[in-house]
A = this chain, B = another copy of it.
Amino acid sequence: MTSRRNTIQKDLVRNTVYEMRRHVTANEVYEFIKEAYPTIGKGTVYRNLDILVEEGNLRKVEVPDGPNRFDLTLKNHYHVRCVNCGEISDVDMDEILGLLEKIHDTHGTDFLGYDILFKGICPKCQKKIKDGQIY
């Protein structure tokens, strides 16, 4: 890895995640920037998101069966995904301590950390279900 340059595109990506203040997907960032800066490439957005994560400016929230999300909050916290619409939100909960010490036998694996992903139904989708719009 050699030295990193500052570019307009990188600033745009960082500022967009900052401005949107939620768990945005790479594509949402791309679409948002394209409004003001139509020539930006999708690859550039993906590359810069990864760089910003590597530099510790953003956190990547890896989501199975759906696009990954990026957010600003740097302290460790957990997420919940709406099983209906896929929206990701922060969970208001203290960090669980000592989880790795609860492992009985590591079977030789070197444990580094963990992610917890809660499943739930967000308020908007609860309303949709009640109104018979879905299910």
Which residues on A are within 8 Å of B, measured CB to CB? 62-65, 68, 80, 82-83, 89, 91-94, 96, 99-100, 102-123, 126
Contacts and interface: CB of A to CB of B under 8 A. Distances in A.
A126 B110 contact: yes
What 3 pairs across the A-B complex have the smallest Cβ distances?
A: A62-B64, A108-B123, A114-B118
A81 B91 CA distance: 23
Contacts of A122: 108-109
A24 B58 CA distance: 32
B111 A120 contact: yes
Nearest to A78: B114
A57 B39 CA distance: 49
Given A91-B103, A92-B104, A104-B92, A110 B121 contact: yes
Contacts of A80: 109, 111
Contacts of A109: 80, 82, 89, 120-123
Given A92-B103, A111-B119, A111-B120, A65 B68 contact: yes
B83 A112 contact: yes
Nearest to A82: B109
Given A62-B64, A63-B64, A64-B62, A89 B107 contact: yes
